[in-house]
């Protein structure tokens, strides 16, 4: 759902909540639309990310462990490029 946070203030609030919720060494898996993903989903605008851009969004308090892209097949038959990232807090 992170890709639905189009306002910078909403993304900062999300990261602040992650920081409060995770102990140092804790992990978070974020899935977002990849750079080639759709510009809208369910009629709403979305953000698209590559791993370095998502690292910049979550900041220095999180360390990227792994990332990979995958083509997601929707129930409607379209394909949407997704980015899956695993971060460690602290």
SS3 content of the chain, % helix, strand, coil (to 5): 30, 40, 35
Backbone torsions φ then ψ of 53, nearest 5 degrees:
-70, -40
Residue 43 domain boundaries? 2-89
Q: Where are the beta strands (DSSP E) in the chain?
A: 27-33, 40-41, 44-45, 62-73, 79-89
pTM above 0.85, yes or no: yes
> Number of folded domains in the chain?
1
Please report, for the domain that includes residue 55, its CATH number: 3.40.50.150
Q: Are strands 27-33 and 40-41 parallel, antiparallel or unpaired?
A: unpaired
> Tens digits of per-residue pLDDT, 29-66?
999 999 999 999 989 999 999 999 999 999 999 999 99
User: In this structure, are residues 76 and 55 in contact, taking their beta carbons and an 8 Å threshold?
Assistant: no
């Amino acid at each position: 759902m992170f890709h639905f946070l189009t306002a910078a203030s909403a993304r900062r609030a999300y990261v602040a909540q992650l920081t409060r919720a995770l102990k140092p060494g804790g992990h978070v898996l974020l899935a977002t639309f990849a750079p080639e993903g759709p510009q809208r989903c369910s009629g709403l605008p979305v953000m698209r990310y590559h791993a370095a851009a998502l690292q910049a969004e979550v900041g220095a308090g999180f360390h990227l462990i792994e990332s990979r892209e995958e083509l997601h097949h929707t129930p409607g038959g379209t394909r949407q490029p997704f980015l899956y990232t695993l971060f460690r807090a602290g």
